[in-house]
Structure 1
Amino acid sequence: MTLDTNSIWQDLQGVRQSVPLVHNITNYVVMNSTANALLAIGASPIMAHAVAEMEEMVSLASALVVNIGTLSDRWIEAMEKAMQQANAIQTPIVLDPVGAGATRYRTETLQHLLQQATPTVIRGNASEIGAVAASSCSTKGVDSTTSSDTMITVAQDLSTTQNCTVVVTGATDYIIQGDQVLQCKNGHPLMAKVTGMGCTATALIGAFLAVNNHPTLAAAHAIAVIGIAGEIAAETAKGPGSLQVHLLDALYNLDGEQIARRFWED
């Protein structure tokens, strides 16, 4: 399996043409930024958390994104119902294990959610993926304390165990399905200075899953797009504040020529 820029561009065009509804159960910190990023690439976001409407809302969506960044018992119940419904109607699920391993409550919640349904894609930094895989990795809040390349074998085991695609983001992003490992080196260090950038990547994966039924390629294409957009944004940004604005513009204006010129795999 290899990545090619034409396929990345085709998926981005597919999102813009079909305007998929992406249902996000995500954290308070990133709701606005992830919704705007989804709108910028052409998708239609909804941030719904009420337990009473979960089954109905998931049935309307083309993808479900579950992000455990800011937990509460009621939101966990909503996540359970959403994942169960998505599993029942075969809607793709993206799980973001924000801060996995930081507290017992967070880790146990994650384990419980994984019992409700098999995610299509799990995306996290190296520490989070290590915690999901029950490795000895330590975590520091939502920031990674381990580099992404050290987690390849662990991520492969997790992918096999959960029968899903695992995305480990870092200086180099790894997109893993069993023995198959794709990588993307796009992005910019300034992106790490903006909260929720990984959460935004997770949301974009949801949009790409809506138009590409190959989870590993869909995830890789989404990761390439946000990385390339981040590079473009950083060229004119004066700091993390303006990077956020320029990132939305870069996602909105991204075209096939920019993807072909900037995509960096090796």
Structure 2
Amino acid sequence: MYLEKIRQENPLIHSMTNVVVTNFTANGLLALGASPVMAYAKEEVADMAKVAGALLLNIGTLSHEQVEAMIIAGKSANEVGVPVVLDPVGAGATALRTESAKRILEEVNVTVLRGNAGEISSLVGIEVQVKGVDGAVEGEYTEIASEAARLFKCLTVVTGEVDIVSDGHENYAVANGHPWLTKVVGTGCLLGGILASFLAVAKGEEVNALQAGLAYYGIAAEKAFERTKEQGIASFQIEFLNQLQSLTDQDVDQLKK
């Protein structure tokens, strides 16, 4: 249902993402059937956010100017009801990253907060050891997701071996995926754009749409691995984009874990 809607409506996804993953994010969104646009200048982000189907804010290579532009875009999106996804890349690794993510959460009505357990834990005040932008934490992902959803009053997605979606009261698990996703730079960041695309067509079914988006992404990785496990991760990356393009809603329904 959601894939068909995305491919029919071709939603514009305003992606304020990091310089490391821009190309991969754009190609992944095109493979899905969405329409990516990368606009960063504070002079235009408000206008772009208002005409988008969804807005992605990713602080992977942040600067003070970028955070200011993200807040301008986020507030503009809020004015017209455009969903906002925040990916707090590396939160917990440095004070700048943690404080910038918290500032965005304070000033923008974020629809979905998506990060790994280490990143989300740092934002809710749970002390964990974070290495670079790839956070790691021991403990119950559902508790972290629930606490963040309640604290920030938004849906929260904590990704890992099993992904958790929480609205602060109910938690939902999605177990699709493959470890090779961690071998390709940008797969986590692209996921933020994929979830933004699903939100763009959710129309009141945000929790269901997030679960479908996570399953779709994980199934694409599983299928890509099966086709390229003898070749290696470079072939996996290309096949992963192929699978993002070819998967159907029926595939997601049948293969969701």
1:111, 1:163 → 2: CA distance? 13
Matched, 1:247 2:240: yes
Alignment correspondent of 2:120: 129
Match of 2:255 among 225, 249, 262: 262
- Secondary structure of 2:86's aligned partner: strand
Determine helix, strand or coil for the equivalent of 2:25.
Answer: helix
Cα pair 1:129 1:151 within 8 Å, conserved: no
Aligned twin of 1:191: 181
Q: Deviations over 1:238-265 (max 9, x none)?
A: 222111110110011112443233211x
1:116 equivalent to 2:88? Answer: no
The reply on whether 1:30 has 2:21 as its aligned counterpart is yes
What CA distance in whole angstroms lies between the structure 2 residues aligned with 1:141 and 1:24? 22
- 1:159-202 alpha-carbon deviations (Å, 9 max, x no partner): 01212110011111111111211111111111111112111111
Q: Distance in 2 between matches of 1:108 and 1:257?
A: 41
5+ residue gaps, structure 2, are none
Q: For 1:8-31, what per-residue CA distance to the aligned partner results, in whole angstroms no more than 9, with x for missing partners?
A: xx0010000000000000001111
1:23 and 1:65 in contact (8 A); partners too: yes
Q: Deviating runs (4+, > 3 A) in structure 1?
A: none
Alpha-carbon deviation of 1:154? 2.4
Q: Deviations over 1:86-128 (max 9, x none)?
A: 1122110000010001111111111111121121001101101
Q: Matches of 2:25 and 2:147 in 1, distance apart?
A: 29
Task: Report SS of the residue matched to 1:51.
Answer: coil
- CA distance, structure 2, for counterparts of residue 19 and residue 116 of structure 1: 29
State the one-letter code of the partner of 1:204: I
| Matches of 1:89 and 1:70, distance apart in 2 | 27
* In the alignment, structure 1 residue 215 sits paired with structure 2 residue 201: no
Residue of structure 2 equivalent to 1:174: 164
- Distance of 2:45 and 2:206 partners within structure 1: 24
Q: Which residue of 2 aligns with 1:206?
A: 196
**1:224 corresponds to which letter in structure 2?**
A
> Please, what TM-score do these two structures have when normalized by structure 1?
0.92
Match of 2:95 among 98, 104, 111: 104
Query: Residue 49 of structure 1 aligns with which residue?
Result: 40
Which residue is equivalent to 1:152?
A: 142
State the distance in 2 between where 1:241 and 1:119 align: 34
The Cα of 1:215 is off from its aligned counterpart by 2.1
User: Residue 260 and residue 112 in structure 1: after superposition, are their counterparts in 2 closer, same or farther (change >3 A)?
Assistant: closer
Aligned CA distance change for structure 1 residues 179 and 94 (closer, same or farther; 3 Å): same
1:190, 1:239 within 8 Å by CA — same for their partners in 2?
A: no
TM-score normalised to the size of structure 2?
A: 0.95
Q: Give the SS at the match of 1:52.
A: coil
Question: What amino acid maps onto 1:110 in structure 2?
Answer: A
Q: Distance in 2 between matches of 1:25 and 1:210?
A: 16
Distance 1:84 1:228, change over 3 A: same
- The yes-or-no answer on 1:68 pairing with 2:59 is yes
Q: For residue 29 of structure 2, give the secondary structure of its aligned residue in structure 1.
A: helix
Instruction: Return 49-58 or 132-141, whichever deviates more.
Output: 132-141
